Amino acid sequence: MTRLSEYLLPTEKQPPADAEAISHKLMVRAGLIRQMGAGMWTWLPAGWRVHQRVVAIVREEMDAIGGQEMLMPVLQPAEPWRKTGRLEIDELFKLTDRKGSELVLAMTHEEAVTFHVAQLVRSYRDLPLILYHFQVKERDEPRPRAGVLRTREFIMKDAYTFDRDQAGMEERYALHVGAYDRMMDRTGLRWYRVEGDVGMMGGLGAHEYMAPCQAGEDEVVLGEGYAANAEVALRTPGVERDGEAYTRDGVALTVEPAIEIGNIFKLGTRYSEPLGARYLDEQGEEKEIWMASYGIGPARIVAAAVEQFADEHGICWPRALAPFAVHLVALGKAGTRERDACDELYTTLRDGGVDVLYDDRDLGPGEKFADAELLGCPLRLTVGRRSLESGEIEVQRRRGREAAPPLALHGERASLLAAVDELWRSLP
């Protein structure tokens, strides 16, 4: 159902009064998300399509490196978290059931996956393993802000690797670096992989994937062959800070605000030791499993795309993330020749496999064009009275609001679909 007359896309002329970030303003105005409470957001149909575009990219790259998808519960016993020393984290939601049993709402799943691996893995022959899932996370965020950028509930892809030793962990970690780099490239975002801090995750080292934009709460310090978040930069030999300026061995570094959209951690035996995840090696000796974990936030990638590419008229989606490839606008009321021609074009595009949103509402051209620019689909096709007179479909690329060569309104079906596909492939 992609006719706007039947589609839930509640666009707004004004942003929420408390919105500061561009992504917060535009995602609400474009009808992609709606707020239910502090840090609690509902993804409406068009917004969910964008979210799932990210999920599809991540899933394909995880499967390509041998990841096995599973699903673990959000509601978990508190005991594994107590064993790892993470039960007292302030942001962790804690509750008790009617019997008084202690439970948590997971903000990440190291405890859960290690609990299972400790039961299921017995021998070196069972390793290595790459396990991942997409699951809701709950976080008692003290200051929810910026729409879907900092929330109390969100979906994360988290993956976990299990190896016999440190060398195996490093190998699996490098495999994920390659996969994450490809994911980032495929989203169309500008991004950096930087040295990160292990934080509450613990372990031996970490990297963060950062999307530069003004709404970012993190800072990335950059130089020739060097990239780190600000915290790590200050611990790097040769890096000094004077006020807001950074230097490395006397050479000036640049600083950019950025959104953290992914993070990967070398955990070592941080979780396998307290949770008893061990295996028997070739000599029958019991050893602890080496682990690493890999997170990525689809919602943050969506918001970062809005932040990076929006203009004064609305969102400008990268091709890979757009909710629809084509936004088809009909000018003229139902029953007119121009509407009939647009209906026919819609059927041709839809049956030809084009992902199209059809604005068939009985509204004026100004309102339709404003909504199309706000939503930001990469291509806009318009059919009106002038199209009947000229025999041409008006084409506009959303990025830069550039007019593209018109398409033949009554041309051969295959030629039309090929021309739309060629236009689509030419977009960023």
Same domain, 382 and 290: no
DSSP 289-320: PEEEEEEE-HHHHHHHHHHHH-BTTB----TT
Say if residue 338's pLDDT is above 60: yes
Question: What is the value of pTM for the model shown?
Answer: 0.94
Assess if residue 4 is contained within a domain: no
Assess if residue 11 is contained within a domain: no
Same domain, 248 and 149: yes
Same domain, 278 and 353: no
Same domain, 229 and 285: yes
Domain boundary, last residue among 309, 340, 369? 309
pLDDT per residue as tens digits for the range 116-148 = 999 999 999 999 999 999 999 999 999 999 999
The whole-number average pLDDT for the span 167-179 is: 97
pLDDT reported for residue 305: 97
**Environment class of residue 283 by beta-carbon count within 10 Å: exposed (0-12), middle (13-18) or buried (19+)?**
exposed
The whole-number average pLDDT for the span 195-216 is: 80
Assess if residue 7 is contained within a domain: no
Query: In which domain, by residue range, is 81 found?
Result: 22-309
Assess if residue 59 is contained within a domain: yes
pLDDT reported for residue 203: 62
Say if residue 424's pLDDT is above 80: yes
pLDDT-derived band at 243, boundaries 50, 70, 90:
confident
CA 44 to chain centre: 16
Structurally, the chain folds into a number of domains equal to 2
Instruction: Tell me which amino acid residue 104 is.
Output: V
Same domain, 305 and 399: no
Same domain, 298 and 331: no
What are 73's two structure tokens?
A: 């519960």
Domain boundary, last residue among 309, 334, 359? 309
Same domain, 139 and 242: yes
Same domain, 262 and 163: yes
pLDDT reported for residue 1: 63
pLDDT-derived band at 205, boundaries 50, 70, 90:
confident
The whole-number average pLDDT for the span 222-236 is: 86
The domain that holds 130 is classified in CATH as 3.30.930.10
The whole-number average pLDDT for the span 397-413 is: 93
The whole-number average pLDDT for the span 291-320 is: 97
Cα dihedral sign, 15-324-387-384:
negative
Beta strands (DSSP E) in 145-289 are 153-163, 192-196, 205-212, 218-223, 226-229, 239-242, 245-248, 251-268, 278-280, 286-288
The domain that holds 388 is classified in CATH as 3.40.50.800
pLDDT-derived band at 302, boundaries 50, 70, 90:
very high
Assess if residue 315 is contained within a domain: no
**Span of 173-177, 218-222, 281-285 with lowest mean pLDDT:** 218-222
pLDDT-derived band at 275, boundaries 50, 70, 90:
very high
The whole-number average pLDDT for the span 206-224 is: 90
Same domain, 305 and 331: no
Please identify which residue in the block is written with the tokens 């479909």.
393
Same domain, 68 and 196: yes
- Name every residue whose Cβ is closer than 8 Å to that of residue 52 and which is 6 or more positions away in sequence: none
pLDDT reported for residue 197: 73
pLDDT reported for residue 200: 60
| Residue 385 backbone dihedrals phi, psi, to 5 degrees | -60, -40
Assess if residue 218 is contained within a domain: yes
The whole-number average pLDDT for the span 255-278 is: 95
Same domain, 161 and 298: yes
Assess if residue 28 is contained within a domain: yes
The candidate with the shortest Cα–Cα distance to 69, out of 156, 157, 128, is 157
Domain boundary, last residue among 278, 309, 340? 309
Same domain, 300 and 332: no
pLDDT-derived band at 199, boundaries 50, 70, 90:
low
Assess if residue 186 is contained within a domain: yes
pLDDT per residue as tens digits for the range 248-265 = 999 999 999 999 999 999
Share of the chain above pLDDT 90, in %: 87
pLDDT per residue as tens digits for the range 361-384 = 999 999 999 999 999 999 999 999
pLDDT reported for residue 236: 85
DSSP 340-355: HHHHHHHHHHHHTT--
